[in-house]
Structure 1
């Protein structure tokens, strides 16, 4: 195989580094590295640096603590080896990042090499994003224009007794602000008005060495004017965890990604491409699985991998939940059997000290499902991968204890109308255990390389989710990587349906595509024809389509949505919510306790309503996306049909923009708050209105009309129907209640905000030149005429004042006095 040169990128233009005595264009270089004239005797004696008081830990490097100083003893044969430096936040202050940054969050991942430069050891950042064959003429140019920056440098303090290792002090790497491993990004620095790092309160907490990795925890304390939670210390302290992992000497053959099958990927740029530019492509992230018996594998037999994927349970995992965790891990074996492997994924209990005295979750040789005693309501499935090849080296699934609470609440809210098991705060173990199992399976899916597939949930006919035989066989979606946690479509009387998600046919398909071993293909390019054939064989079947759910354009690719008809699914979901609300006091009350649980569940129920509404809003100006390549028939993008958009608007008028009397249950509200219901409904409805009147949605409606004429649901159609629905009292000569007054004010304020941009210096120039401005001006002028013509028809004084107030708001938006 031709060796390729890894290169960095334009960041190297800013980097200072060790030079050479000749240009790279001058042929053979005389490097400034390794040219020290000092002998070993010129350095300090090893025993004077690493004293008898040192606390040492042997591993990849040997770490030594001498008082407060940390030394790395680096074997010379590990210099210039590729290592992955992964920076994570180990502990964060309460409220940090608005509560969205959790312990365990990864902040950076980069390849480094420890190299010697005279009497120094440098840490260089290496990138494998750009590449070129060494034999190619362009190789020298790529190298010269992609120089590796130096992250850190330290003087050599000593050599060990047999001169096979160097000793350096590394305190400055972990106790100073080094941006590449820092956990405080620029945005949060600005939010919290961070001044500087306080070195007197920043220190190294621990350092541990393992055979293939080094783990260092260090505390960083920053002076901040406005720290999270307004703490009295005026500082932000966080604990960082730096993991340095030795990358494999033998590289796995990469697999080239395809956007039609969802995978986490790594970008590559090949400057040896025959195209008239660099060849931009991606490789997938996956574990290295090689059959023990390749000939048997070729014959179609199931074969065990040489090295299976093994997950250990955290010793802190409660014993009652361990069986569910293990099932969730090993559920993936069904998918790997499609790829020709048996026993590919193995779950193990944590070993005892007698069984494995060296076991540690920090050791990169062990992948662990960690059970974290935390109020965080989440679970994550991160992994560490080799950027050279995409090979996943290790992963730690993180389960936060209070995530149980999320699923308990969701089960009650979305299935309480249909099944008795959901009508309690103490969800039966069988149901909550099954939910935990599927959460773990979902997170393991991420750790195997699979991203979210939000399009999967639109593959099944909505009414099929009311069928026991269908849901028990196929689950709620074709992929467990979708967010489709509870079957809210099922209705009371739908006996035997499945309520909890499960693995589906897409998952088996994706694992086969990414993991099937192709022994005859000797390069990534040689695999492409086979991989393409597998995709084309499933083309046109929505069960095997992929969509990330990002962008908000495709209504068939949304979080928490179910079924192929979002309007029908949301109607079913709302019908169930309306049945649940009258029972919440009974289902959440505990003798001797206040109504905290009732308040929490009720609040989350309102979020469900908001979610069902947003699923429908996405159809307005929506565009279906079906990922295709140029050898496939049909287009990639199609506008949502006019009839479907009209149906969606009818739903929004009747459910989103009509006062939800069913939600305003006084039996609940009088137990949880003195006031706030009006504002809560206003917030929910305003959110839906803002989404509906979003400028990008309006632009898509305008573009659709231009392309499809009378076949299109136009922006004028939408705005006219919206106005008549929101101001129905005006057109029917009726009194307007407080909820509707708030909604109508929100509509006028949102529409007027577009027109006010005409008078702002920092306005969006593209918006000002679009048809959105005349549309909004026309709607405001039409509404003003209707208000002036009809306002005197009401006998209700407050309604009349309200109409006059709206006219004043419209005038302010139109700037009639200018």
Structure 2
């Protein structure tokens, strides 16, 4: 037992020692671990920036000044903090469309937004830049005034979603602006009164597509779906028609080193950027305008100073749409580059360049604001346009487009046929020859390029040329039909069939066009300021003052006073030009069936016939505006030019008689041999005479003002009414048989008497139920005139002109309202507004006097008149008696 106890103690002691050794070994192992720790990678926590994109469909476009992210159908801007406050333009262009009457590919219907972004705490503000105000930045007081009164208004606010890891840029969502219905970036035209569009965006069918980023701009393409309604006046043409558009929006960073602006001169027709200057010295707000122009500076200034031709640092490059027919491409290029002749005269070469759409450049996008293009538009519109967009701070033209509609060919053949077929056998067919097509296309696109270079219409240019000079081969070789292709002076309708070697087309460039290019783009290396340049430029225009070849005439839209500044006219005397033109129309009409063959349906002959009627109407209306006419010229004190001069009395009297003679004797328009081939219709002469008689009966408002401003020997309202009475009632005064023109004139005069005599207590009883025409409307062109003269350069009104005529005929109204005058027609300096003449209007007195004379005349004439004429005269007498309140 004792032995067993000893053995047990011994075993326990050994076991204890073993455990102690193990424990010591474990301690040693732990100690080793502390000395040599195992390194493990910790799990990194994602930041806000990474979480925006992690695990999502993510596309990135990184450019020189900002980055775009497209994430699960949403758009994010990553804008560097250093770019906050930098000015940009945001433009919207149609790229694809299901209806190009509402949205035209390549067109920017809205002025690009001038914006900047600012950062405030956790919010990014998109602001509209208040660019109209200018001031001296060195004047601290004025700077404070501007800072308090003309801040940039906030348009939208965006929450900062994240900063980039290096905190150099912020990220915010911009999806709504590019897929929403913001009108400021809408690719849809709203139209122009009387034709307007209303579009409603379907957001559920709209989405983001392609994103791109470049050195100074980014672009976003969106697919947008709308419901569109169109209205002509009060008539709904269609309602909620589906429309799908792919739109390209460009955000362009504007340069900090800006072009030196050029102060405008109202004596030249250039597009303008309006400004207001706050002067510290004079303590007033002064309105002024800058001329819109491209930035043109010589690459080699020293060579330029030596008089050598030098290329510009930045040429004006246009890209030619590859969708144009091959035949069109060469004349389109030629029409643009012919402006280089004007630039060479001021020291620049290769300024205007035309390149094909590149096929090997993935960055090229014709709808990006960086590229100026000539675009092909498949449409029934017979037109072309040349809009441009500028830096609102300086007026620098940054982008321009020329849109050429394919049906312009129809317009060209109509022009050439009715204006030159008397002398040019090449045009006596249903279609333009390749030679004539190219010649005419080059002219049209050159006119549009003039707009893209900053030139407005100059409607007074062609009036500088004596009418008979248009028949001179020598004169026409030198000058063409006009001193400016920016006039609506088309082709030589004055030249007669026997004239030999007479040019029938406008010049490549007129002397006025070259002068405006010199004024706009001359570079002055020795001058240091805009004001210094302006003094020199002003002296150039002073030297041309009083020279009709350099006279600028505004396009007349809200009123028509100046007979020398009308569209579609030639020469300095509309009566003489009209006589020549009418001879030619008679000659063309008499040969129409002989020249136009293989026309079984008479479709082409009827089209040409309608153009002959329209051309004749223009001749008559051009002369009507001599009655009460006032020549208007932008003038400066101390120069020979005068601001307004009444048309001489003798010319006004002659114009009244000329128009009345035409209305009385234009049944040649109703050529039975030609018209019998057409469908059921009324006589064209009746339609023309009705319109012109109505205009002539209203023109007394112009006579009122013209006589008021005449310096001596005015053509008075009394004399006008006497001449009007004598001409209109010539049949009764001289006992001759009535013509259809006589009847229309007499009804028109009696109608106007009814509207006027109610003012002094007479009875309202005319031959129509129309109300008295307002003095404002009396001056303004009707919508029919807008179409006739081609005043609607967008072409939207002309498309529905026939429908408008149907409405007017049904409702017995002329739709020319104040709304139309404010609808956006006209350009640049705008137009001469209507001058209120109510205070000096004595027309009611003279209409009353005319009513008494007509009553006495008809009472004397009716007993001896033939049976047919007697019925008409009795109706006239009945109306006049009712107006006067007698039996």
Q: Which residue does the alignment assign to 1:583?
A: 591
Indicate whether 1:777 and 2:857 are aligned.
no
Identify which of 566, 574, 578 aligns with 2:574. 566
- Alignment map for 1:196-235 (pairs within 5 Å): 198-200=202-204, 209-213=213-217, 214=219, 216-217=221-222, 219=224, 221-222=226-227, 230-231=237-238, 233=240
3-state SS of paired residue (2:374): strand
Identify which of 398, 406, 409 aligns with 1:401. 406
Q: Which residue does the alignment assign to 2:151?
A: 147
Contact 1:621 1:701 in 2 (8 A): yes
Indicate whether 1:123 and 2:142 are aligned.
no
Deviation at 1:555? 1.6
Indicate whether 1:107 and 2:113 are aligned.
no
Q: Which residue does the alignment assign to 1:33?
A: none
Task: State which drifts further: 643-652 or 708-717.
Answer: 708-717
C-alpha spacing 1:225/1:705, structure 2 compared with 1 (3 Å): closer
CA distance in 2, matches of 1:595, 1:746: 34
- Alignment map for 1:317-336 (pairs within 5 Å): 317-336=324-343
Contact 1:215 1:242 in 2 (8 A): yes
Contact 1:260 1:546 in 2 (8 A): yes
CA distance in 1, matches of 2:146, 2:701: 42
Indicate whether 1:663 and 2:674 are aligned.
no
3-state SS of paired residue (1:600): helix
Indicate whether 1:178 and 2:182 are aligned.
yes
Q: Which residue does the alignment assign to 2:656?
A: 649
Identify which of 871, 874, 884 aligns with 1:801. 871
Q: Which residue does the alignment assign to 1:517?
A: 523
C-alpha spacing 1:120/1:596, structure 2 compared with 1 (3 Å): farther
Q: Which residue does the alignment assign to 1:279?
A: 286
CA distance in 2, matches of 1:189, 1:481: 25
* Greater relative contact order (CA < 8 Å, ≥ 6 in sequence): 2
Indicate whether 1:684 and 2:688 are aligned.
yes
Contact 1:91 1:240 in 2 (8 A): yes
1:640-698 deviation line (CA, Å, top 9, x unaligned): 1112212222221122x224211112233222221222xx434422332343344xx53
Contact 1:378 1:399 in 2 (8 A): yes
Contact 1:370 1:396 in 2 (8 A): yes
Contact 1:625 1:638 in 2 (8 A): yes
Contact 2:128 2:152 in 1 (8 A): yes
Identify which of 308, 311, 316 aligns with 1:309. 316
Contact 2:755 2:772 in 1 (8 A): no
Q: Which residue does the alignment assign to 1:28?
A: none
Contact 1:212 1:365 in 2 (8 A): no
C-alpha spacing 1:75/1:562, structure 2 compared with 1 (3 Å): same
CA distance in 1, matches of 2:373, 2:100: 27
Deviation at 1:182? 4.6
Indicate whether 1:613 and 2:683 are aligned.
no
CA distance in 2, matches of 1:762, 1:725: 23
C-alpha spacing 1:52/1:243, structure 2 compared with 1 (3 Å): closer
Contact 2:263 2:289 in 1 (8 A): yes
CA distance in 2, matches of 1:666, 1:103: 46
Structure 2: gaps of 5 or more residues: 1-44, 765-770, 777-835
TM-score under structure 2 normalisation? 0.79
Task: State which drifts further: 205-214 or 426-435.
Answer: 205-214
CA distance in 1, matches of 2:878, 2:635: 51
1:417-443 deviation line (CA, Å, top 9, x unaligned): 111011112222222211111111111
TM-score under structure 1 normalisation? 0.86
Bigger Rg, structure 1 or 2: 2
C-alpha spacing 1:186/1:401, structure 2 compared with 1 (3 Å): closer
C-alpha spacing 1:763/1:712, structure 2 compared with 1 (3 Å): closer
Deviation at 1:258? 0.4
Q: Which residue does the alignment assign to 2:783?
A: none
C-alpha spacing 1:670/1:516, structure 2 compared with 1 (3 Å): same
Deviation at 1:456? 0.9
Contact 1:206 1:218 in 2 (8 A): no
Contact 1:478 1:543 in 2 (8 A): yes
Q: Which residue does the alignment assign to 1:745?
A: 747
Deviation at 1:176? 4.2
1:360-394 deviation line (CA, Å, top 9, x unaligned): 21233332211222222111111121111111112
Indicate whether 1:674 and 2:677 are aligned.
no
Structure 1: gaps of 5 or more residues: 1-38
Q: Which residue does the alignment assign to 1:552?
A: 560
3-state SS of paired residue (2:677): helix
C-alpha spacing 1:699/1:746, structure 2 compared with 1 (3 Å): closer
- Alignment map for 1:28-43 (pairs within 5 Å): 41=47
Indicate whether 1:717 and 2:788 are aligned.
no
Deviation at 1:234? 5.8
CA distance in 2, matches of 1:275, 1:436: 52
CA distance in 2, matches of 1:95, 1:668: 36
1:152-204 deviation line (CA, Å, top 9, x unaligned): 33333444565544433333224444343457788979987969655445666
CA distance in 2, matches of 1:816, 1:274: 70
CA distance in 1, matches of 2:62, 2:609: 52
Deviation at 1:772? 2.5
- Alignment map for 1:445-594 (pairs within 5 Å): 445-502=450-507, 503-550=509-556, 551-590=559-598, 593-594=600-601
3-state SS of paired residue (1:430): helix
Q: Which residue does the alignment assign to 2:639?
A: 632
Task: State which drifts further: 486-495 or 527-536.
Answer: 527-536
Q: Which residue does the alignment assign to 1:24?
A: none
3-state SS of paired residue (1:426): coil
C-alpha spacing 1:44/1:318, structure 2 compared with 1 (3 Å): same
Contact 2:390 2:398 in 1 (8 A): yes
Contact 2:250 2:368 in 1 (8 A): no
Contact 2:701 2:775 in 1 (8 A): no
3-state SS of paired residue (1:725): helix
Q: Which residue does the alignment assign to 2:420?
A: 415
3-state SS of paired residue (2:125): strand
Contact 1:40 1:159 in 2 (8 A): no
Q: How many residues align?
A: 767
CA distance in 2, matches of 1:95, 1:528: 43
Contact 1:46 1:161 in 2 (8 A): no
Contact 1:193 1:225 in 2 (8 A): yes
Deviation at 1:338? 1.8
CA distance in 2, matches of 1:634, 1:366: 41
Contact 1:589 1:597 in 2 (8 A): no
CA distance in 2, matches of 1:250, 1:369: 28
1:611-638 deviation line (CA, Å, top 9, x unaligned): 1112111211111123221232463211
CA distance in 2, matches of 1:306, 1:599: 53
Q: Which residue does the alignment assign to 2:136?
A: 133
3-state SS of paired residue (1:106): coil
Contact 1:416 1:422 in 2 (8 A): yes
C-alpha spacing 1:812/1:67, structure 2 compared with 1 (3 Å): farther
CA distance in 2, matches of 1:448, 1:133: 29
